[in-house]
Structure 1
């Protein structure tokens, strides 16, 4: 078990780059890093983001941490469309083109050198949830709209799995759908066993693992996994602590 982060965080977002874990935002613009090469090493602070981002989303783009959207000023703050990239080599953040839509509580994934942002909201308490999706190609330097999801989803999580993008759960939802990048279409798959709002997901050993989240305002301990070969979710185990609005990375 690794040591605790320097700061208590809710609504932060995390990625893994070259055996380093970076966690950013939440109630501040602070960013910290854990070097997995150091067996006894702890978290240490790196350059802060340009803006505070609560309930933002992150992905890895060309070995850099991309953080998109979120709220500035906490839960009652204003939604952001801005996007910034962290370069670990020079320890600096740089803004890139903003998303077409202001979003928080959304999902962000990276695939084949492009970013995909989907879902979220721009109003307090997740009112006005989105089903929209947009992508960013660094070679073009701008975001473009794609086919919207079948359902509006705020506080969802998302992953790339078997070359498709999965949108998982959300506020009062246990449904799941996947996006085929080649055909620009969304298809429903099996639903989660539990409603999960504010959960997080990663891919490990050929399965999608979804951890925590909340159902009926109660945080969950359970972890469930999806196997595409049988199109089924199964409860795998429980965490020691219920967690909602957390973040996870695969080591």
Structure 2
């Protein structure tokens, strides 16, 4: 489809204000049984990670998954999610693995202020939820869909909006379709909820229709309703992430395969491959060694934060952290990568990252 609308490459001085916030947890409990989440900031101007600390309110053997994290007014907000603990299960006679077992779906909303380096509790969600859509629009936080009960077979249609000025959540009209693992993104000044495992509330189908799963919904502020948009996603599997860059929606994969081999852009009707974005592997390491992948937009660039496990040898049980950058405005070679870094222990991603702008 060609290059996207151009914007100059961020300078190092410009990038110094931007960081990427990520929440990790160990793939398996430590010797003391600890699995708690921790937060790190990646500084793209100098390729360094800084530890922010742990998410408060969790026990040492608990981890938060399925939450949403957004940045608004010098703070990150950790919204909702599912509290889990790790259990070791046997996948075969001689192979065992650790899995997340849900304990509770929570409505909690936590705020971390980067200016004061302090955590505080905000007004809770009206409906506890996890695996939901979330986005910031006009200085307010919108959430929609998700699941409200452990091991539920269906999503929910509930939606609400948070006003940081009054620390209140206001109920919005329901989505037109039940959805979970849907993606929230602000595009063209409007809140969009895209894809997900979706079905109509009155559906008696054993297998939900692809029409629902490939649809999106846009919040109509004037009429205070959700408008259904057919064909905003073209796969039966929900999107992994969708971000906006220079007024264009971009995606790189689905929730089963975070990297499909290229970046794709939505032209209002179809998703098309972005010229120069094809990259079979995001590292010289094998894809089946990848522990996590998440992406974040900064100006015209997409940052892909990947972690790879080490198989066998003396370095087993470590994670190689690699950051790859795709410049959407480049006309030549659009990819570059930072030097890989080794970190102790195998880590996993607990939720998608967000971009933080520090003054």
Is 2:232 aligned against 1:191? yes
Q: 2:179 aligns with which of 134, 146, 153?
A: 153
Q: 1:109 aligns with which of 125, 129, 135?
A: 135
Is 2:90 aligned against 1:49? no
Q: How does 1:145-224 map to 2 (within 5 A)?
A: 145-171=171-197, 173-189=213-229, 190-197=231-238, 199-214=240-255, 218-219=256-257, 221-222=259-260, 223-224=263-264
Q: How does 1:74-93 map to 2 (within 5 A)?
A: 74-93=100-119
Contact 1:201/1:248 (8 A) holds in 2:
no
Contact 1:71/1:80 (8 A) holds in 2:
yes
Tell me by how many angstroms 1:192 deviates.
1.6
Residue 106 to residue 75, structure 1, CA distance change in 2 (3 Å): farther
1:17-63 Cα offsets, whole Å, 9 max, x none, are: 9401111256632100111232xx32221122114420101212212
Unpaired stretches in structure 1, ≥5 consecutive residues: 1-15
Is 2:122 aligned against 1:96? yes
Give distance in 2, aligned partners of 1:107 and 1:25: 20
Q: Please, what is the CA RMSD of the aligned residues?
A: 2.6
Is 2:30 aligned against 1:30? no
Give distance in 1, aligned partners of 2:252 and 2:108: 28
Tell me by how many angstroms 1:125 deviates.
4.2
Contact 2:105/2:150 (8 A) holds in 1:
no
- Greater relative contact order: 1 or 2 (C-alpha under 8 angstroms, separation 6 or more)? 2
Tell me by how many angstroms 1:154 deviates.
0.5
Tell me by how many angstroms 1:181 deviates.
2.8
TM-score, structure 1 length as denominator?
A: 0.80
TM-score, structure 2 length as denominator?
A: 0.58
Select the structure of larger CA radius of gyration: 2
Tell me by how many angstroms 1:88 deviates.
1.6
Give distance in 2, aligned partners of 1:78 and 1:153: 20
Q: 1:225 aligns with which of 253, 265, 281?
A: 265
Contact 1:221/1:238 (8 A) holds in 2:
no
Deviates more, 1:172-181 or 1:198-207: 172-181
Unpaired stretches in structure 2, ≥5 consecutive residues: 1-14, 26-34, 58-62, 85-99, 199-212, 282-286, 299-359
Contact 1:17/1:64 (8 A) holds in 2:
no
Q: 1:249 aligns with which of 283, 293, 296?
A: 296
Q: 2:160 aligns with which of 134, 158, 162?
A: 134
Tell me by how many angstroms 1:160 deviates.
0.4
Structure 1 residue matching 2:214: 3-state secondary structure: strand
Contact 2:155/2:178 (8 A) holds in 1:
yes
Give distance in 1, aligned partners of 2:140 and 2:215: 25
Deviates more, 1:43-52 or 1:23-32: 23-32
